[in-house]
Amino acid sequence: MEHRLKRPIKIIRANQRIGYHADSGCYPYDDRDPFFIESCPHVYFLGNQDEYDTRLIKGSEGQVVRLICIPRFAEIGVVVVRFANSEPFSSDEIDEERTPWASYFLEMTQSINDT
């Protein structure tokens, strides 16, 4: 997973929302660059990853950012949960017997994937 985190860490440290590509076309913005992060986030989510992972990194000005890799639910069946007043994040596999709402969540995911 370490190799997947290199680019997001560079993006956060450079205050960008997405990486710039030299071969992409440019569009002139008059007032501001929409791909520049004006204030460093406290949490940065990366979806559709191979596995769950989280770590703390330092931003461009020393601020702390929680980087969270969220796995593909449809393939892996793992959700990432964080309660507002707790640390850290956690991941859990969906088990229909233990989790009453799991069957609904699985059905919704399946219907989205079928479209």
- In tens, the pLDDT along 20-49 reads 555 455 666 677 776 666 777 888 888 888
Span 46-105, pLDDT tens digits: 888 888 888 888 877 788 888 888 888 777 777 776 666 655 555 555 555 555 555 555
Q: Report if residue 100 sits inside a domain.
A: yes
The token pair that represents 2 in the structure block: 């370490």
Q: Residue 7: give the domain boundaries.
A: 2-21+33-114
Q: Report if residue 17 sits inside a domain.
A: yes
Q: Report if residue 27 sits inside a domain.
A: no
Kindly give the pairing relationship between strand 43-49 and strand 64-71.
parallel
| Number of separate domains in the chain | 1
